[in-house]
Amino acid sequence: MANTAQMQVTDEVAIQITAMNKWYGQFHVLRDINMTVNRGERIVVCGPSGSGKSTLIRCINRLEEHQAGQIVVDGTELTSDLKNIDKVRSEVGMVFQHFNLFPHLTILENLTLAPIWVRKTPKREAIETAMYFLEKVKIPEQAGKYPGQLSGGQQQRVAIARSLCMKPRIMLFDEPTSALDPEMIKEVLDTMIGLAEDGMTMICVTHEMGFAQAVANRVVFMDQGQIVEQNEPKEFFSNPKSDRTKLFLSQILGH
Amino acid sequence: MSNPSFVRTEMLPPQKPPMGQTGVLRWLRENLFSSPFNTFLTLLGIWAVYTLAVGAAPWLMNSMWNVDSVDDCRAILAANGETTGACWGVVRTRWHQFFFGFYEQSEYWRPMLAFALLFVSIAPILYFNLRRPNAIMVGGASIFLVLVLAGLGTDGWHLGIAAFLMAALTAVAWIAPKWLLWMTLAFPATAYYLLWGGSVWGPIGVMAGFGLAYLVFRLLQGEIGVTPAAGIASLTAVVWWLFLQGIVTAFLAGILPWSLTAESPDTFGGFLLSFTIGVSAISASLPLGILLALGRRSDMFLIKTLSVGFIEFVRGVPLITMLFTASLLLQYFLPPQTNFDLILRVIILVSLFASAYIAEVIRGGMASLPRGQQEAADALGLDYWQAQRLIMMPQALKVSIPGIESSFLSLFKDTTLVALVGLADPLVGITRVVRSDINWKAAYWEPFIFVGVIFFVFCFSMSRYSMYLERKLKTDHR
């Protein structure tokens, strides 16, 4: 995989999470999360299932509501104000585990829908942008097809292109390769690496430790709704500090 | 011991299936004679069909058309030494009542033109902006209309107007099918004017209220958001209808007194009545049902409660109760001097009734969509109405097509229930009127079969169309 160590991280703050807490009813899913993401950073969030990693990134574009603390994205604080939420959502792209393409629209329509309706981009320009990003994820020939006709890996690449068409400043990935066959994981990861090389700010929930080592400049390990450890990837993998991290790493890297 | 090592050197080509696995014999064996019990059922079925055919055949074979009374039929049968025969003379002499109720014969062009325009208005909805089917449907409706009007002996003046109008619309359908949607928008007022008659300015005034509401909505939507804008727009329309419309239309009628003979609700009957109620209620209940379904899934407590309350109340009340409400109860609540047409009242209550069922069908469709669809729409920054309109509804409606279609079918057939509030539906009302003629007193099966066949033709077409739509919209490639 590409060596991306030289990719630039700026001092500008992209996401600031302060003392954030979230409950599902009585269940305390996220506990006192503090995290700062600078522009250009590529963060991998890992942890056992149920540790709250997906919930954390879903809070960043308010697919989930937090009950205490503060989340500021690109200078906009996420409150119940719908205007702020829409503003943040149009700046933050998200890629889901199950792609969530719109099955009733063609690939091209999937890509142009949000730019046309949210950004009010003229249709022709939206199509040009869409084709540019389809080239970029290497499937321009599929533009006229429906999502159901594509393989999982292709669908996920379309989903990435769909987010990129909104020209987001931040990208969130929620286990983008977990629903894919091993043969298709690589094509999606390659797309994500390409994105990282372009300097996109990324937060990625994934179990692909190879990807973390190659691309991330910080790995965050979560357990029971808390950030247990975070570090540079080299240090994180070779010299984990907490026992919980050691146990987790031994289990996923053990075979 | 087998050798665990194996390497394929060439890939196998596909081969034909073995004999006896395809063709007619296989189909027969699998579907009709697969087990002793199924064989027995097959034979039983053949026997049942045979008995029915043998029983009905003489009656149908001895059909008589050129007769003027049941007594004539009996005389012919007796002369030929037959015992049974269908006496279709009742249909030949009274068909116009089954179709037009008690409408003036000289005015038949009005409901026929409205009927043809109905097909023009639904063509762009049924076939989107596909040129060929639109043009075929509109052109077909035009030819049908001209032939029927000529057959009905319509005067040349009205025949000419109708033919010219339909020819123009066919041209529009061929050149720019999208523009037919303007006809769709204008159809409610046009049809009302043609069917009920009276001054042309009344229906135009009502439509102007909708136009006004739309303008206000468009102006305010960007400034204050969708929901408040919709509220103010509706308020504007209500103010227009209640206070301003009367003055403006009276003024316009003074300048241009265009009008058709006003028809009272008593002249409506037969399929004219069924179609008026059915088509209006179908087209009103779908948008209402969508709004109710959205309301029921809303996060807003008040809207959700109101929607649930309405849906559960309406579904808990029999349609007949609604019809009696329309015919009797509503009069008590309306101001004494208002004369609100009975058919309009029935249409409104049947629409509300149907919309509650449609709402539940659509809610089912929405519940079947994966949660990720809403999340993806949210994550892309689409607002609530955009997400519903562009992502949720197209998919939910597609899933709900069979349910919506059966709601529509039962609604259309339920229009015969208006017989209970004294309207002349084709099945009971008109048949009763026809049989009150001493000549046709004994005609029992023939009117029912005639009406039944016509209902079947329309219901079956609706059903076939919905299957076409399902196939056309199928994009998931599962």
Give the model confidence (pLDDT) of B411-441 as tens digits.
999 999 999 888 899 988 999 999 998 889 8
Strand, helix or coil for residue B346: helix
> Which of the listed residues B231, B260, B289 is the one where a domain comes to its end?
B260
Distance CA A146, CA A156 (A): 13
B372 belongs to a structural domain: no
* Confidence tier at B20 by pLDDT (50, 70, 90): low
Distance CA A204, CA A222 (A): 13
B29 belongs to a structural domain: no
On whether both B163 and B238 belong to a single domain, the answer is no
B353 has pLDDT over 90: yes
Strand order, beta sheet including A92-95? A92-95, A170-174, A201-205, A42-46, A218-223, A226-231
Q: What φ, ψ does residue A30 adopt, rounded to 5°?
A: -120, 130
A2 has pLDDT over 70: no
CA distance A115 to chain B (A): 9
CA distance B291 to chain A (A): 21
B69 belongs to a structural domain: no
Domain count, chain B: 2
Nearest to A12 by CA among A43, A29, A36, A35: A36
Distance CA A145, CA A188 (A): 19
On whether both B236 and B188 belong to a single domain, the answer is no
On whether both B155 and B234 belong to a single domain, the answer is no
Residues above pLDDT 70, as percent of chain B: 97
Give me the domain span that covers residue B245: 198-260
H/E stretch holding A231 reads strand A226-231
Q: DSSP letter at A158?
A: H
B186 belongs to a structural domain: yes
Distance CA B226, CA B290 (A): 16
Burial (CB count <10 Å: 0-12, 13-18, 19+), residue B36: exposed
Burial (CB count <10 Å: 0-12, 13-18, 19+), residue B232: middle
A63-117 pLDDT tens trace = 999 999 999 998 899 988 888 898 899 899 999 999 999 999 999 999 999 999 9
B264 has pLDDT over 90: no
Flag if B383 and A86 touch (Cβ within 8 Å): yes
> Which of the listed residues B192, B209, B239 is the one where a domain comes to its end?
B192
Q: pTM for the full model?
A: 0.85
In chain A, whose CA is at the least distance from the CA of B397?
A: A104
Flag if B379 and A113 touch (Cβ within 8 Å): no
On whether both B151 and B225 belong to a single domain, the answer is no
On whether both B250 and B230 belong to a single domain, the answer is yes
Strand, helix or coil for residue A19: strand
Structure tokens at B325: 């409400």
On whether both B207 and B243 belong to a single domain, the answer is yes
Which residues of A sit within 8 Å Cβ distance of B? 61, 63, 82, 86, 89-90, 92-94, 96, 98, 100-104, 113-114, 117-118, 146, 148-149, 162-163, 166
Which of A100, A113, A160 would you mutate first to test chain B, the one with the most B CBs within 10 A? A100
Flag if B379 and A86 touch (Cβ within 8 Å): no
On whether both B188 and B202 belong to a single domain, the answer is no
Q: Average pLDDT of A113-140? A: 93
B179 belongs to a structural domain: yes
In chain B, residues with a C-beta closer than 8 Å to the C-beta of A63 are 375, 378-379
Flag if B372 and A93 touch (Cβ within 8 Å): no
> Which of the listed residues B173, B192, B211 is the one where a domain comes to its end?
B192
Distance CA A60, CA A71 (A): 7
Distance CA A99, CA A146 (A): 13
Structure confidence at residue A1 (pLDDT) = 43
B449 belongs to a structural domain: no
Strand partners, A221: A46, A229
Q: Average pLDDT of A27-39? A: 93
Strand, helix or coil for residue A79: coil
Structure confidence at residue B477 (pLDDT) = 58
Flag if B376 and A96 touch (Cβ within 8 Å): yes
Measured CA distances, A111 to A159, B142, B478 (Å) = 8, 42, 22
Measured CA distances, B181 to A139, B286, B381, B460 (Å) = 37, 17, 30, 25
Q: Answer for the pair B298, B126: CB distance below 8 angstroms, yes or no.
A: no
Strand, helix or coil for residue B21: coil
Strand partners, A54: none
Strand, helix or coil for residue B3: coil
CA distance B36 to chain A (A): 43
What b-and-e string marks burial along A8-40, b requiring 16 or more CB atoms within 10 Å of the CB? Answer: eeeeeebbbbeebebeeeeebbbeebebebbbb
B180 belongs to a structural domain: yes
In chain A, residues with a C-beta closer than 8 Å to the C-beta of B398 are 104
Q: Average pLDDT of B386-397? A: 93
In chain B, residues with a C-beta closer than 8 Å to the C-beta of A100 are 370, 372-373, 375-376
Q: Answer for the pair B451, B426: CB distance below 8 angstroms, yes or no.
A: yes
Most confident of A67-71, A178-182, B263-267: A67-71
On whether both B168 and B132 belong to a single domain, the answer is yes
C-alpha A63: how far from its chain's center? 13
Could you say which of A61, A114, A163 has the minimum Cβ distance to residue B382? Answer: A114
In chain B, residues with a C-beta closer than 8 Å to the C-beta of A93 are 379
On whether both B118 and B147 belong to a single domain, the answer is yes
Q: Answer for the pair A98, A179: CB distance below 8 angstroms, yes or no.
A: yes
CA distance A138 to chain B (A): 22
In chain A, residues with a C-beta closer than 8 Å to the C-beta of B375 are 63, 96, 100
A4 has pLDDT over 60: no
Which of A88, A89, A163 would you mutate first to test chain B, the one with the most B CBs within 10 A? A89
Q: DSSP letter at B10?
A: S
Structure confidence at residue A254 (pLDDT) = 65
Distance CA A158, CA A134 (A): 7
* Confidence tier at B23 by pLDDT (50, 70, 90): confident
In chain A, residues with a C-beta closer than 8 Å to the C-beta of B383 are 82, 86
Nearest to A164 by CA among A60, A91, A80, A63: A91
B198-217 pLDDT tens trace = 888 989 999 999 999 999 99
Burial (CB count <10 Å: 0-12, 13-18, 19+), residue A145: middle
ipTM: 0.90
Flag if A103 and B476 touch (Cβ within 8 Å): yes
B238 belongs to a structural domain: yes
In chain B, whose CA is at the least distance from the CA of A119?
A: B381
On whether both B111 and B187 belong to a single domain, the answer is yes
Higher-pLDDT residue of B377, B34: B377
Work out the mean pLDDT of chain A and round it to a whole number: 90
Q: Average pLDDT of A3-7? A: 50
On whether both B109 and B146 belong to a single domain, the answer is yes
On whether both B117 and B182 belong to a single domain, the answer is yes
User: Which of B253-267, B280-294, B425-439 bottoms out in mean pLDDT, i.e. has the lowest?
Assistant: B253-267
Structure confidence at residue A7 (pLDDT) = 59
B312 has pLDDT over 80: yes
